[in-house]
Amino acid sequence: MGRSSRVPFPTSDVIRNGGANSHQIESAISAKDKQADLKKVDAWNASAEEKKAVKDAEDFFLKPFEEWRKNVGIGEMILIGHSLGGYLASSYCLQNPEKLIKLILLSPVGVPEVPPDMQRQFQERTDGDWRLRWARSLWEGGTTPQQLVRNFGWVGASRWFTSSIVERRFKHCGFDADAKKNIAGYLHSITILPRSGEDCISTILKFGAWARVPLMNRIKSYLKIPTVFIYGKNDWMDPTPAYQFSSDSEMAKYVSKPYIIPKGGHHMYLENPVACNPVLHKEVTDGVKSFIAKKKEADK
């Protein structure tokens, strides 16, 4: 970090979900927060073989991220991850805790273990519905939502398809026509690119979006970094593990009680920015202040 008398500021990095825009999260961190340098990166009981496959899939994302961090000269940082990006940010933190000042997870996928009863009920429901069996077959065969969009390209319908997704998914957000057009354009532009990281999704996640190697026990065993969980009130991700972490006598040293954003879902930073923005601003600012205080104390 250097030996200058001026305390250098940490970097805030954003690892986004496959279908969310890191610029949307960036805009949720107040423009007046100029101290922190913000960077954006648009990126179960398993057998030993399955665990190795998951580790390889995680490394597909994390090794390039680590190389990028070194190449741009980032030292310690605040890492923000959303959805699958939250899963990957957690995995990065567990591998490289010395690089992080704080971990901020927005609706991370893959934290809880699948309760046996729920797993059995979901299996029975899937087996009894041909549409779910078909969807499971596509998932396990490596077909991704991005591939389905690309398949529409030959009839010129891929733009319509992404626009209709944005229209339905965010119809309650009150976006004007230009905002919806920009989001749909971004989604379309990243979706039609050649396959890459999306091929790892079905390796990391089971059909139903449960992690093959859940973060629950890994976080309990290895997490030693201040960590913040943020969920939407109507989120489809389960905040229960975050509450369990924050109420555990040992884990509470690192994990605070999760934030629940009212009138927000999985994309709470878009659905209720008025409530979400101050939370992100506060947590990033607190992380910067803590970093500065520790550096000043160490320099005495």
Mean pLDDT of the chain: 83
181-221 pLDDT tens trace: 898 888 888 888 887 778 788 899 988 888 999 999 889 88
106-136 pLDDT tens trace: 999 999 988 888 888 988 999 999 999 998 8
Q: Is the pLDDT of residue 4 over 70?
A: no
Q: Is the pLDDT of residue 32 over 80?
A: no
Confidence of residue 9 (pLDDT cuts 50, 70, 90): very low
- DSSP labels, the chain: ----SSPPPPEEEEE--TTS-HHHHHHTS-TT-TTSEEEEE------HHHHHHHHHHHHHHHHHHHHHHHHTT--SEEEEEETHHHHHHHHHHHH-GGGEEEEEEES-SS-SPPPHHHHHHHHHHHHT-HHHHHHHHHHHTT--HHHHHHHGGGGT-HHHHHHHHHHHHTGGGT--HHHHHHHHHHHHHHHSSPP-GGGGHHHHB-TTS-BSS-HHHHHHHH--S-EEEEEETT-SS--HHHHHHHHSTTGGGTBPPPEEETT--TTHHHH-HHHHHHHHHHHHHHHHHHHHHHHHHHH-
**For residue 280, what pLDDT is reported?**
95
129-176 pLDDT tens trace: 999 999 889 888 888 878 878 887 765 677 888 888 888 888 888 888
Confidence of residue 286 (pLDDT cuts 50, 70, 90): very high
